[in-house]
Amino acid sequence: MPYRAPLADFRFLLGHVVGLDQVAATERFAEATPETVEAILAEAGKLCEEVLAPLQRPGDLHPARLENGVVRTSPGYADGYRAIAEGGWVGIAASPEHGGMGLPMAVTTAVNEMMSSACLSLQLNPLLTQGQIEALEHHASDALKALYLPKLISGEWSGTMNLTEPQAGSDVGAVRTRAEPLEDGTYAITGQKIYITWADTDFNANVCHLVLARLPDGPQGTRGISLFLVPKFLPDAEGRPGPRNAVTVVSLEEKLGLHGSPTAVMDYDGAKGWLVGAPHKGMAAMFTMMNNARLGVGVQGVGVAEAATQAAVAYAIERRQGGPGGIIEHADVRRMLAVMKAETFSARAIALACAVALDMGRATGQPEWQARAALLTPIAKAYGTDVGIEVASMGVQVHGGTGFIEGTGAAQFLRDVRVTAIYEGTNGIQAMDLVGRKMMDGGEAAFRLLQEIEDAAETARHRLPDLANDVWAASEALREATETLVGQEMQDRFAGAVPYLRAFARVLGAHFHLTAAVTDPAREPLARVAIRRLLPEHAALLAQVREGAAGLYALSPEDLAA
């Protein structure tokens, strides 16, 4: 079934649920009026439906491959990418000073979701470039900005992110790649990076790698890591790509999914690089890119969930089995489809709310908005991608045996989206970030958000008393669990981190569904699914939070292996 961009849901969520009007009321984003946003999303939707969605299957069937050290991309990808770049979509959120559109992240997030639904493998390329643009905007010297940003923003060049090494995955502090200062102020980068997404293409005139490496005097651990910009071709002063740099793609990985997206082992052999940000402050600079990418990856999950739901509903209407109507008439199939739709709505609302908080933080500089964005980012990443995987898996189930057979696309959604819970910081690492770094304020940002949820539930009581009561009570339970959590030792927090993050997402999702139902009665049935069927899970999740770590460590490695 062809993908249809969910424009009505975006319009409704942005206009009535997550408050894009606040963003448009700021000076920085004054151009993001409802009419402009509507036109932009319609244009992006058309591109996704007509140009990108048809590339989904060819990318799966004909993976990117390495030929004589050069990556050859899947059929049609070059044309699809050109359409993305020419539409200005790579630089949609980038600053107008260097050619970007300067639009809010809330709009970028909606566009990125549609592109992820249409063709996840290709969408990863501009997503990484967007992250690199943001990192350079914040941390690079003026000279680097002037040379690189216009090319990246126009999409002529692409950007990658090079953290991972064989011994340095989640533990980025273990990075060994070396950076030797050269006399001309640049650096010679030497080392091996693995799993590098879109490390090379045959449709970008240059590929710019942001690389974490260690200076000779760099202290051990994350405090000794610096960030370098290493282009595939060394540009001249006018930005014309010149000689080849000493960086090569050694091999491409064979993967479960995302076949259209090349994932490379990279060799840096004294490659010329430029320092971005201060020496030894590479992690802080890279975090700018990672935070952008974390929300972006969460939205990849939402995009796949949307596409998988659309395909499953269409199949369930057509497929006849066990009755005169389609299988959609069976209670269990109806349950699966309703859950898929409710979960997708929740994850989308959380991602857009996170984007609005980012925009407000940037436009106003208010620490409350910045803290809200920081709190919501790991939830948007982990919950969005978990929903992507769970919904894609249910999509396979709705298709029955056909779902397991390649060709319907249901299996590809599941294979492609699986990695989103792993890259950009595994979902376990996201949850630890939520209960660790994001609770350094003693839970203040969380409590402020829960207060808003409870106030909204109070207001909703006169219209939908049963649903409002459930949301209020769940928020109270989360508040109590948060009070317990901030008093726990870190190891105990970590043991309950994943259930805590999911409980938080459950409460947030229920809150957004309730807001939707209060605004538009037609949305009440879906809100009932989210609040009456899914929200109760929070109680079981929060029970795990209170358990701490001791019970888990009572099982020894030998017990687990027995």
Ligand X SMILES: Cc1cc2nc3c(=O)[nH]c(=O)nc-3n(C[C@H](O)[C@H](O)[C@H](O)COP(=O)(O)OP(=O)(O)OC[C@H]3O[C@@H](n4cnc5c(N)ncnc54)[C@H](O)[C@@H]3O)c2cc1C
Q: Which residues contact 294 (CB under 8 A, 6 or more apart)?
A: 377, 378, 380, 381, 424, 425, 430
The dihedral built from the CA positions of residue 319, 320, 323 and 325, taken in this order, carries a sign that is positive
163 binds ligand X (CB under 6 A): yes
Question: Could you tell me the smallest distance in angstroms from the CB atom of residue 396 to ligand X?
Answer: 20
426 binds ligand X (CB under 6 A): yes
DSSP 153-213: HHTSEEEEEE--BTTBSS-GGG---EEEE-TTS-EEEEEEEEEEET---SS-SEEEEEEEE
491 binds ligand X (CB under 6 A): no
Instruction: Map tokens 């009561």 to a residue.
Output: 469
DSSP 129-158: HHHHHHHHHHHS-HHHHHHHHHHHHHTSEE
Q: Closest Cα partner for 480 from 551, 549, 550, 538? A: 538
Question: Could you tell me the smallest distance in angstroms from the CB atom of residue 299 to ligand X?
Answer: 16
Nearer to ligand X, 246 or 422 (CB): 422
The token duo for 304 is 């796949």
**Residue type for position 56:** Q
Q: How far is CA 215 from the centre of its chain?
A: 30
DSSP state of 5: -
542 binds ligand X (CB under 6 A): no
Nearer to ligand X, 164 or 248 (CB): 164
152 binds ligand X (CB under 6 A): no
**Exposure class string for 33-52: b at 16+ Cβ within 10 A, else e:** eeeebeebbeebbebbbebb
What is the number of residues in the chain?
562
195 binds ligand X (CB under 6 A): yes
288 binds ligand X (CB under 6 A): no
DSSP 534-553: ITTHHHHHHHHHHH-SHHHH
Q: Of 64-72, 163-171, 360-368, 393-401, which part binds ligand X (CB under 6 A)?
A: 163-171
54 binds ligand X (CB under 6 A): no
Q: Taking the CA of residue 262 as centre, how many other CA atoms within 13 Å lie in the half-sphere pointing to its CB?
A: 24
549 binds ligand X (CB under 6 A): no
Question: Could you tell me the smallest distance in angstroms from the CB atom of residue 429 to ligand X?
Answer: 5
Among 170, 220, 321, 366, binds ligand X (CB under 6 A): 170
Nearer to ligand X, 160 or 408 (CB): 160
Residue nearest to ligand X (CB): 169
Catalytic sites, residue numbers: 424
Using CB under 6 A as the binding criterion, the count of chain residues that bind ligand X stands at 19
90 binds ligand X (CB under 6 A): no
Strand, coil or helix: what is 242? strand
**Exposure class string for 433-462: b at 16+ Cβ within 10 A, else e:** bbbeebbebebebbeebbeebbebbeebee
The token duo for 384 is 């969005």
162 binds ligand X (CB under 6 A): yes
- Taking the C-alpha atoms of residue 130 and residue 93, their distance in angstroms, rounded to an integer, is 8
164 binds ligand X (CB under 6 A): yes
Provide the 10 A C-beta neighbour count for residue 405: 12
Among 94, 119, 189, 419, binds ligand X (CB under 6 A): 419
527 binds ligand X (CB under 6 A): no
Write the CA distances from 49 to 54, 55, 81, integer angstroms: 8, 10, 14
Q: Of 67-75, 136-144, 342-350, 422-430, which part binds ligand X (CB under 6 A)?
A: 422-430
Question: Could you tell me the smallest distance in angstroms from the CB atom of residue 46 to ligand X?
Answer: 29
Question: Could you tell me the smallest distance in angstroms from the CB atom of residue 102 to ligand X?
Answer: 26
196 binds ligand X (CB under 6 A): yes
DSSP 71-106: EEPPTTHHHHHHHHHHTT-TTSSS-GGGT-----HH
Nearer to ligand X, 163 or 375 (CB): 163
- Taking the C-alpha atoms of residue 276 and residue 212, their distance in angstroms, rounded to an integer, is 10
Q: Of 193-201, 382-390, 459-467, 516-524, which part binds ligand X (CB under 6 A)?
A: 193-201
| Interaction mask 222-261, ligand X, x per CB under 6 A | ---------------------------------x--x---
Question: Could you tell me the smallest distance in angstroms from the CB atom of residue 416 to ligand X?
Answer: 10
Scan residues 301-340 and list those touching ligand X (CB under 6 A): none
Q: Are 315 and 399 in contact (CB under 8 A)?
A: yes
Scan residues 108-127 and list those touching ligand X (CB under 6 A): none
Nearer to ligand X, 239 or 428 (CB): 428
177 binds ligand X (CB under 6 A): no
Backbone angle region of 19, left / alpha / beta, with phi > 0 → left and psi within -120 to 50 → alpha:
left
Scan residues 427-446 and list those touching ligand X (CB under 6 A): 428-429
Nearer to ligand X, 289 or 333 (CB): 289
24 binds ligand X (CB under 6 A): no
66 binds ligand X (CB under 6 A): no
Question: Could you tell me the smallest distance in angstroms from the CB atom of residue 19 to ligand X?
Answer: 32
Nearer to ligand X, 421 or 531 (CB): 421
Question: Could you tell me the smallest distance in angstroms from the CB atom of residue 391 to ligand X?
Answer: 20
Question: Could you tell me the smallest distance in angstroms from the CB atom of residue 208 to ligand X?
Answer: 13
Question: Could you tell me the smallest distance in angstroms from the CB atom of residue 407 to ligand X?
Answer: 23
- Taking the C-alpha atoms of residue 290 and residue 286, their distance in angstroms, rounded to an integer, is 6
Backbone angle region of 442, left / alpha / beta, with phi > 0 → left and psi within -120 to 50 → alpha:
left
| List of residues contacting ligand X (CB under 6 A) | 160-164, 169-170, 195-197, 255, 258, 263, 419, 422-423, 426, 428-429
